[in-house]
Structure 1
Amino acid sequence: MLAWYKNGSPREKKTFWACYAGWALDSYDMQMFSFLLPTLIGIWGLTKGEAGIIGTSALLSAALGGWLAGILSDHYGRVRVLVFTVCWFTFFGVIAGFAQNFEQLLIARTLQGLGFGGEWAVGVSLMAEVINPKNRGRALGFVQSGFALGWALAVLVVTAILAWLPAEYAWRTAFWVGVIPALVVIFIRRNVTDSDAFQRAQDKNSDKASILTVFTAKYLRVSMLSSMLVLGLQAGCYVILVWTPALMAERGVVAGSLIVTILIMAAGSFWGFCVTAYLSDRIGRRPTLIIMSVGSWIVTVSYMFIPFNPFIAHVMGFLVGAMAIGMFAALGPFLSEQFPTQVRATCMGFSYNVGKSIGAMAVTGVGLLAAKLGLAQTVGGFCLAAYAIAVIALMLLPDNKGIHLDDLDASEADAASALQPTSSQTHA
């Protein structure tokens, strides 16, 4: 499974670690806040509504940030923008640690979210363009596994800091600690360059991406279907992860400490990333995503209705992490093979972050309907609808597994030239 890395060129390996470290850092900063919320609620007396507003603000600003970062990277280069995004969200993470009230923290987290959104689309674009096409699924899948590392680090770091420091200093320290890995990421990226595919696209002076590129006739259909795919996958993932603990409590099941439960799910997601990465290169992106979508729904329904004890709860938690989160290892390769180089990061940034933001609203939908329909039934229904949306989008999008991105760019150029009037038509 790691042969692709062993046989990779030095450039491919450097690019992999730069993207992996960046995504792990992004995950750490995003996940850390959710573990700090109980402390902030206790210290500042925040309402759950105010806590939710802070969390949602970062998510919504990430959608805008991902879109803008994609446009900038299509103009100025992947590596330059990736370094900028890390500097951006690290700086505002430090600022967040100095916040004195709800309003200041809200502003800092909103600005920090702009940096979060740019990391995924730009990093995936860079890795997809540098890696050997036959290994693209595995390489991008292992990059995605950085999410599991960042998630686990957030749990361990926040737990340790809260145990060693008074609460009023601990939450601030958790934000400031993020500076250390950020410096490592910036150092790693000093030795990484933009892909040859990107340089060729720049040399051809092709149409530059803009904020309206995704809405042009050429890219609108694929961009909207890609957003629909992300919406379905993210809605299912959010509903499962957010409401599973409440569902377990409703059934009177004690699954052990929260730390152990989350670490088991993180371990499951890491395993799922690796397996999904292998499958996406082996059988294709579309079949892999369909299998994982159906599997996620089956695991969720089983989690809700079968009798189980704490041991089975941990096993099911591992499978939930492997399916609902691990499936995202195939999403990066699939989306990167939908768009030509000159607009890849722009369209991916829009599709991923807009779909993610809309998909997150499913969490609220479950909360509103659960009182009438029951939590288990509502979660099952929402997940079924979410993954059905994802499967429909998958069936309408092409599976370009392993395509040479130069071939994708060439077909784009051929299509564009076919639309240009010939000289005889021009002078007719």
Structure 2
Amino acid sequence: METQIGSIQSPQPSSPANAETAPSHGFFSWYRDITANERRTFWSCKVGYALDAMDTQFLSFVIPTLIATWGISRADAGFIGTATLLTSAAGGWVAGILSDRIGRVRTLQLTILWFAFFTFLCGLAQNYEQLLVARALMGFGFGGEWTAGAVLIGEAIRAQDRGKAVGMVQAGWAVGWGLAALLYALVFSLLPAETAWRVLFLIGLLPAVFVIVLRRLVKEPEVYTEHKAREAQASEKTSFAAIFSPRLISTTLRAALLTTGAQGGYYAITTWLPTFLKTERGLTVLGTGGYLAMVIVGSYIGYVTSAYLTDRIGRKRNFILFALGSMTIALAYTHIPVNDTVMLLLGFPLGFFASGIFAGMGAFLTELFPTSVRGSGQGFCYNVGRAIGAFFPFLIGHVSQQMSLGHAIGIFAAAAYGVLILAALTLPETRGKALEA
């Protein structure tokens, strides 16, 4: 049996993830203490998430080319992004259920193959409708990969270092984002734009090769295999609907509010800030490689810092700290007069806080749910937040017809992060919680 949600167990020596050893105090000393299998799991999840981010970010770079080549509107281009987010939410939940049924590693393999294949198909699209369908199907695997990878690494690493390890895996997103930017610059410098955008998507098939590594090197977490053995012995299976049982429903709903706040705030800031700063402030630095590099570097350092802090000061305090930082940045961007030089520098804290808040999410959701429905619970909560958050850009655009765009961004960002803070305050602190089969 799993311990009651929110309780803190003393570590169990039977599993590497729960081994009773002293906490790691150095920034990366935890990595030296983990086993070879845990290191393979860590790097497999990190590389998988970076490749996921790379394939996902290709679209943002080629939208101007698609508008010029096919003559589609900005609304049409934006709808591709919205469709991808909504299907990724569905894919994340399905992958969570699958990871409880067929295993964390196998689900991770399937989701990587899925998003790589449909990214490749995007490069073969002959019209807008075909690209929309291929990209939406790609989103199904994109959302699923996060869920499967987060559960896998969360179960593989010992309790006292789980936050650092899962957060460092999450930092792979910034690496993939940067890789997408570099590939975009390289491909578009060598080929004409009408061909280059297709080549960029075709490159997206390469992550499929990574599945061979996963099949050979990565094993299921011990806590999961022990649970499946006991489940088979008892001849009974737990339904994914158990996350809505009287025992777990309160945790499920509050965790969903937490992720909704994080993702709603992120989409509110990142979707509309460039438009606001270009149209109402007349800034030109937003479209430059220097500004993008500043945001990406800030994101990576934010992920790493948050990963360390979530084990150091606790999950809840870390969420609140980064939520307050994100709110401050949103208000600074929309209410303080700035020039291009100041805006370039502000790209760093924007990436740092808005992205870094997600580093603690995987470990926290892993610890909130029992092993039998850990994937289902994590997949549902994170992706409900993604689905609801996807509507924030639309709502801001609608409300901005009645007030300034800057005020609309500030209101929605503050509301989103306020919801996150309230949810964090009501949820149990899980730092150091051991996972049991």
Same fold judged by TM-score > 0.5?
Answer: yes
Amino acid at match of 1:149: V
Secondary structure of the 1:212 match is helix
Structure 2 distance, partners of 1:33, 1:210, is 37
**Residue 256 (structure 1) shift:** 5.9
**Residue 215 (structure 1) shift:** 2.8
Given that 2:86 and 2:390 are in contact with CA atoms closer than 8 Å, whether structure 1 keeps it comes out as no
**Residue 81 (structure 1) shift:** 0.8
What does 1:158-237 correspond to in 2, within 5 Å? Answer: 158-205=184-231, 208-237=237-266
Structure 2 distance, partners of 1:56, 1:211, is 27
- In structure 2, what is the equivalent of residue 76 of structure 1? 102
Structure 2 distance, partners of 1:111, 1:208, is 30
Amino acid at match of 2:188: L
5+ residue gaps, structure 2: 1-26
Count of matched residue positions in the alignment of Structure 1 and Structure 2: 407
Given that 1:208 and 1:343 are in contact with CA atoms closer than 8 Å, whether structure 2 keeps it comes out as no
Among 138, 149, 152, the residue aligned to 2:175: 149
Secondary structure of the 1:194 match is coil
**Residue 211 (structure 1) shift:** 5.0
Among 112, 116, 119, the residue aligned to 1:90: 116
Secondary structure of the 1:217 match is coil
**Residue 182 (structure 1) shift:** 3.4
Given that 1:222 and 1:397 are in contact with CA atoms closer than 8 Å, whether structure 2 keeps it comes out as yes
**Residue 188 (structure 1) shift:** 4.3
Given that 1:65 and 1:115 are in contact with CA atoms closer than 8 Å, whether structure 2 keeps it comes out as yes
Among 66, 83, 96, the residue aligned to 1:57: 83
Structure 2 distance, partners of 1:308, 1:59, is 32
Structure 1 distance, partners of 2:238, 2:166, is 24
Secondary structure of the 1:402 match is coil
What does 1:2-401 correspond to in 2, within 5 Å? Answer: 2-205=28-231, 208-249=237-278, 250-255=280-285, 257-401=287-431
Structure 1 distance, partners of 2:239, 2:179, is 36
Structure 1 distance, partners of 2:283, 2:88, is 35
Amino acid at match of 2:307: A
Structure 1 distance, partners of 2:241, 2:214, is 33
**Residue 217 (structure 1) shift:** 2.6
Structure 2 distance, partners of 1:256, 1:370, is 21
RMSD: 1.5
Amino acid at match of 1:169: T
Higher relative contact order (CA 8 A, sep 6+): 2
Amino acid at match of 1:171: W
TM-score norm. by structure 1 comes to: 0.92
Structure 1 distance, partners of 2:240, 2:309, is 34
Amino acid at match of 2:85: L
Structure 1 distance, partners of 2:113, 2:361, is 26
**Residue 213 (structure 1) shift:** 3.5
Structure 1 distance, partners of 2:282, 2:351, is 22
Given that 1:209 and 1:346 are in contact with CA atoms closer than 8 Å, whether structure 2 keeps it comes out as no
Residues 389 and 251 of structure 1: CA distance in aligned 2, closer, same or farther (over 3 Å) = same
Structure 2 distance, partners of 1:211, 1:342, is 9
Question: What do residues 215-271 of structure 1 show as CA deviations (whole Å, max 9, x unaligned)?
Answer: 333322211211111111111111111112122211122326432212210100100
**Residue 180 (structure 1) shift:** 2.3
